[in-house]
Homo-oligomer: A and B are copies of this chain.
Amino acid sequence: MKIAELSRRSGVPVPTIKYYLRENLLRPGELTSPNQASYGEHHLQRLRLVRALIDLGNVPVAKVREVLESLDSPNLDLHDRIGHVNRAITPSRPLSAGDVARSAAREQVSDLVEQRGWIVEPDAPALNALVEAIAAIRSLGQDQLVANLGAYADAVQVFTDLEIAAVTGSSDPDRIAESVIIGTILCESVIAALRLIAQEDASARRLRATV
């Protein structure tokens, strides 16, 4: 298909597609004349993946390129590819938590990891992101929100098990890697939206009458 059709089918404007081509987020099409290229279904698929990473995953363009390079790298094992994705989408900003709250949070997280026997690199950015989020909550005097971290971890485990069952149906490592990327980023949006809906329902049931 020509770039105009790729644009129409993906909903991505032509100038944006050209930008992604220049940034190497999308492989060049096959040249059919000096000024025209033809694109296939795999371009459409990749374009949707790029949009999902940028729009839903809030992944910066440079990181999207890294993620795609890991995805396309046949020499990297699947565990490492997944690790690259996880690292690319983990926020790394320290928050304005107090030192006391942060050290309490750090202890809470290391206790949790130890109790669960989680195999996780000590420098995994997600560990730090968890510490920062808990520390921020504690600094705001809302310790009760994270008092039962184990129950959160149990519920999260449900998601992880569902996703693993869904992605390991295929025997093709490339296909599994792509599923994991999509699952990691897009299922987060699914969970976040479900949570807001469940909260609206709970609020309507419990609070509407009480105030």
Contacts and interface: CB of A to CB of B under 8 A. Distances in A.
- 4 closest Cβ contacts across the A-B interface? A126-B196, A130-B193, A133-B189, A155-B158
Given A129-B189, A153-B198, A193-B126, A203 B56 contact: no
Nearest to A121: B200
A160 interface: yes
Given A98-B9, A193-B133, A168 B51 contact: no
Nearest to A101: B48
A208 to B, nearest CB: 5
Contact of A207 (B78, B201, B205): B78
Contacts of A158: 151-152, 154-155
Interface stretch (A24-32, A61-69, A137-145): A137-145
A182 interface: yes
Interface in A88-119: 89-91, 93-98, 113, 116, 118-119
A158 B98 CA distance: 29
Copies in the complex: 2
29 contacts: A10-B96, A11-B96, A45-B141, A48-B139, A51-B96, A55-B96, A77-B207, A77-B211, A82-B199, A82-B203, A86-B196, A86-B200, A120-B204, A129-B189, A130-B193, A130-B194, A130-B197, A137-B190, A140-B182, A142-B186, A145-B183, A145-B186, A147-B166, A155-B155, A156-B191, A156-B195, A156-B198, A164-B206, A184-B199
Given A79-B208, A119-B200, A12 B145 contact: no
A47 B118 CA distance: 35
A157 B205 CA distance: 14
A20 to B, nearest CB: 12
